[in-house]
Amino acid sequence: MIQASAVQHGMWVAVSSAAPTAYHMPLVVTFAHDPDVALLAKSCAAVVERHALLSSAIVDRDGVAYLTRACAPGLRVAGPDESVDEEIARPFDLAEGPLVRFALFGRTLMITAHHLVFDGHSKEVLLRELAAFYAGEIPAPLPRTAADELAADTARLAEGRTAAAEYWSGRWAEPLPVVVGDHVLTGRHHGAGQVHAFEPPVPDLPGLTRFETLLAAIHATISGYGNPRVTTGVDLSTREPGLVGTIGSYATELPVDSQPDPDSSFAQFAAELRAALRAMYPHRSVPLARAVRRLRPHAAVAPVSVSYRRGGAAPRFDGVPADVDWLAFAGSVRGDLQLQAVDDGTTVTARLRYSAAAAPVAARLAEDLCGVLTRVALAPETRLRDLFASSTSAPPVAVEARASAPASVHGGELVEPVLAIWRDVFGNQAIGPDDDLFDLGGDSLTATQIIARMRKTLGLDIDIDTFFDYPTVNGVLDAAGAR
C-alpha cells in the first residue's frame, strides 16, 4: 500500500459526504464504424496495465487514505436494456476498486472514471493511448511509476507547505455567497444538478490568455449583479512537465479573489486578475486545506467553480475521427455553479452545471457572460460599470459565522480516552481538553485521523464539520452530546 497524495486525501474526505456521482468523470466516445470488440477490449486492458492507478482502490487506515491494488477493469459489452446514464450513475466501491470502467453500447464507448485517479487532462491521455494501442502502436515508456510520483508528491508538499501557508496568510477569506437578484448561491453543498450548454465568445486580447479573459469576464459579470467581492474556485493542474502523458488526479481547486472597481476598464481589471493568478501559481502543488488550517470542508471552494482546459482533439479509430463528448455530465454538481470549458483553439465549448438553488439564474448568468465577452471583444477599454447594463444593487451578504462552542462540561468518562487519541495523533502528551486543534498545528487531515480512531475505539461517529465548529476535546464531546 502507498499513502494517497495530498490532493487524493482531500478528495477522499469530501467524497464521504458528496452526492453519489459528484466525483464521477464520464467520457463518451462514439465510433464512426462498429469497432472490433476484441481489439478494443485488448486496447483498454493495455491502457490500464500502463497506468496502474486505474486498477487501484482507496482504503482507510486510521483516517489516512492509502492506495492498494484492485482487479484490472475490462471492457464490458452492455446489454440491450442498459443505458449510458445508468452506467455513469453506477457507484464505485472505493475500497474494492477499480476506479475506472469501460462499457460498450453499440458504437458508443462509455468510460467512467473516479476523480480520485483521473482529471480532465487524463481524458486526452487515455483516448490518445487507446487509439494508439487499437492501431497496433506502442506508446513510449512512462517516465515514472505511480509509486514514484506519489513519493515525489510527498516531497513537494513538504517543501512547499511553509511558503504556501505564508502566501495564503492574510489573503484567504471565506468566500461570500454570490447574490443574483433574489437568489443566494454558495459552495457549501453537493447535490443533483442540471446542465446548460453554450459557447462563450472568448476573444483573443493582447497580454491575456483566453482563460484569463474568460475568468475576468466571469468576475465582471458576477460583480455586475451587485457583489462587491467576487471569489471563484479555479481548477489548476499540478502536473510537473514530465507528467503530461500520465493519467492521474493532478488538479487542485484554489480561490481567485477580486474586488472589481466599477471605474476600471476591463483590460485593466483583467491584467490585475492575471497578476493575482501568476502570483498564486507557484503554490498550486499545496492543497488549500494543507496551507489554511481552519479551512472548513466545502463541496467547492467558492459558489462558482471554473474548469478550463485546452485541447480536445478527437482520436482516430480505423482512420476516422471518433465523436467525443469531453464534458459529459454525471448528474451532480459540487457547490451551486460549475463552469466546465474546453478550448480547441477555435471554439470554447462550455457546460454550466447548476444546482436546484441556481436553476432560476443559470441561463441568465450564461447569457450575461456572453454579453460581457462580446462587448470586451469590441472595446476592452470599456469600464466595468458600462459592461453590464442590467447590474443591480444587492445588500451585502455576511460570511457564515463560526459557531461558538457550547458551554463545556468538564469531566465525563470520555474526555480522557479522547484526549489519549489526540495526544497519540499529535505526538504531544501536554494536550489539554480545551486546547484548539488548529492552534496545535492540526488541519483537516488531523481531524479525519482523530475521527477514524474515535469511531474505531470508542464507537463515536462525529462529522468533520463538528471539529471546525468546536475544535477542542470538550467542545467536540459537548456538541455531540457525548458526556
CB contact set of 422 (below 8 Å; sequence gap of 6+): 431, 437, 450, 473
411 phi, psi to nearest 5 deg: 105, -165
CATH superfamily of 2-147: Chloramphenicol acetyltransferase-like domain (3.30.559.10)
CATH superfamily of 415-479: ACP-like (1.10.1200.10)
- Tell me what pLDDT residue 408 has: 39
Are 2-147 and 159-387 equal in CATH topology? yes
CB contact set of 136 (below 8 Å; sequence gap of 6+): none
Cα 14 to Cα 444: distance, rounded to the nearest angstrom: 11
- Tell me what pLDDT residue 392 has: 41
Grid cell listed for 155: 516531497
- DSSP result, 447-459: HHHHHHHHHHHH-
> Interior CA angle at 53 toward 49 and 55, to 5°?
60
> Interior CA angle at 235 toward 185 and 251, to 5°?
135
- Tell me what pLDDT residue 374 has: 95
What single letter denotes the amino acid at residue 357?
Answer: A
Q: Do 265 and 383 meet the contact criterion of CB atoms below 8 Å apart?
A: yes
Task: Say whether domain 159-387 belongs to CATH 3.20.20.150.
Answer: no
pLDDT tens across the length of the chain (483 residues) = 888 888 898 888 888 777 789 999 999 999 999 999 999 999 999 999 999 999 999 999 888 899 999 999 999 999 999 999 999 999 999 999 999 999 999 999 999 999 999 999 999 999 999 999 999 999 999 887 777 877 888 888 889 999 999 999 988 988 989 999 889 999 888 889 999 999 999 999 999 999 999 999 999 999 999 999 999 999 999 888 778 889 999 999 999 999 999 999 999 999 999 999 999 999 998 999 889 887 877 778 999 999 999 987 889 999 999 999 999 999 999 999 999 999 999 999 999 999 999 999 999 999 999 999 999 999 999 999 998 754 443 443 443 434 444 443 444 678 888 888 888 888 887 888 888 888 888 877 788 888 888 888 888 888 777 877 888 888 888 887 755
- Tell me what pLDDT residue 393 has: 38
Residue ranges covered by each domain of the chain: 2-147, 159-387, 415-479
- Tell me what pLDDT residue 344 has: 92
